[in-house]
């Protein structure tokens, strides 16, 4: 089977990454195949399948939605999907419009980057949702995607589908980078000494050999970093603390996880020598706590990042949030929304 080309255009128009040609668009996957037919067959996993089956048993068949035009009356279970390669700013606009059109403020289950999308929406209007489960959400930026951007990621025996060159065309990884003070202590040289950098300055990338200084790729990365700053700014709490919906955090702590990298030589980074902390293999336990809001409890999962929700009782967590929420006039029996990647 030939590998699909997941690359995005490296050209931008007025601060927005250009769309790919229609023939290259990856169709949204069916719910039984949440990574899409190509990636799922290569990975041999179904990341969200157990969770989707649990929710479908409790709430009935879900509606797969990608924008506000897909809101239906009295549907108990939506799954909001998005293109995990493109800018979070684009997806936040779609998600915000979708939440505004729902007939009832939903309980939301948001995994990984999906939780950042949700929190950005709540910074504009905390009343959009009833309550939230934040599962392995990297609220504190980190560098775990940097090896993917410099060395690529092998999927089975396939080195091309998520090569470094392909992943550098995406916008999303730059949105996970540490912002401002979050970067302290996360980037070391080969002697173990901290390198102080601004990860949203293109000079950091060119000076350390992470991106060639000239050409279309450097221009793309510069645009993507500026776009990421806009998104990171949208995550700075802007509402009164008690106005945010109550939430439960799901954190992994059974997998030793590095949250920083070592520059072993120009253009090459490694996480192998960095201190390991409790986490889920992608993000450390301390990385996934929301910056503000009312956290009812933190549930610990022993599963890895992609399947962290399989290690907790999601239905019981939703019920807990319904019981403790101090807005009794909101009926949450109609809508449960999960935010997941395509």
pLDDT digits (tens, 9 = 90+) for 56-87: 888 888 887 777 776 665 568 888 989 999 99
Q: Is the pLDDT of residue 33 over 70?
A: no
Range name among 36-40, 52-56, 98-102, 230-234 with the lowest pLDDT average: 36-40
> pTM score > 0.85 for this model?
yes
Q: What per-residue confidence (pLDDT) applies to 66?
A: 74
In the chain the first and final C-alpha atoms are separated, in Å, by 20
pLDDT digits (tens, 9 = 90+) for 113-152: 999 999 999 999 999 999 999 999 999 998 989 999 999 9
Pick the CATH number of 27-196+235-341 from 2.60.40, 3.40.50, 3.30.310, 1.10.3470: 3.40.50
CA 267 to chain centre: 25
Domain ranges of the chain: 27-196+235-341
Question: What residues contact residue 259 under an 8 Å CB cut-off, 6+ apart?
Answer: 142, 143, 144, 186, 274, 277, 279, 283, 284, 287
């Amino acid at each position: 089977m030939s590998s699909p080309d997941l690359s995005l255009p490296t050209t931008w128009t007025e601060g927005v990454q250009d769309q790919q040609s229609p023939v290259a668009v990856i169709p949204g996957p069916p719910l039984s195949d949440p990574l899409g037919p190509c990636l799922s067959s290569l990975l041999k996993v179904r990341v969200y399948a157990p969770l989707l089956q649990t929710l479908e048993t409790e709430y009935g068949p879900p509606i797969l939605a990608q924008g506000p035009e897909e809101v239906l009356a009295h549907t108990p279970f939506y799954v909001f999907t998005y293109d995990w390669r493109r800018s979070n700013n684009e997806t936040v606009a779609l998600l915000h419009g979708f939440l505004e059109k729902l007939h009832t403020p939903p309980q939301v289950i948001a995994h990984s980057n999906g939780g950042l999308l949700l929190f950005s929406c709540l910074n504009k209007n905390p009343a959009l949702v009833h309550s939230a489960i934040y599962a392995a959400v990297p609220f504190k930026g980190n560098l775990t995607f940097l090896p993917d951007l410099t060395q690529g990621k092998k999927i089975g025996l396939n080195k091309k589908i998520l090569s470094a060159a392909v992943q550098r065309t995406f916008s999303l990884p730059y949105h996970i980078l540490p912002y401002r003070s979050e970067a302290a202590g996360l980037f070391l040289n080969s002697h173990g000494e901290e390198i102080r950098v601004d990860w949203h300055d293109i000079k950091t990338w060119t000076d350390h050999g992470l991106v060639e200084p000239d050409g279309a790729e450097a221009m793309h990365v510069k645009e993507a970093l500026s776009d990421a700053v806009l998104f990171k700014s949208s995550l700075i709490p802007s509402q009164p603390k008690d106005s945010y919906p109550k939430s439960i955090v799901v954190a992994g702590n059974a997998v030793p996880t590095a949250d920083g990298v070592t520059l072993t030589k120009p253009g090459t980074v490694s996480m192998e020598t960095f201190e390991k902390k409790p986490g889920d293999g992608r993000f450390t336990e301390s990385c996934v706590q929301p910056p503000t809001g009312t956290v009812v409890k933190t549930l610990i999962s022993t599963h890895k990042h992609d399947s962290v929700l399989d290690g907790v009782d999601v239905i019981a967590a939703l019920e807990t949030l319904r019981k403790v929420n101090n807005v009794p006039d909101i009926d949450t029996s109609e809508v449960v929304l999960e935010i997941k990647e395509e």
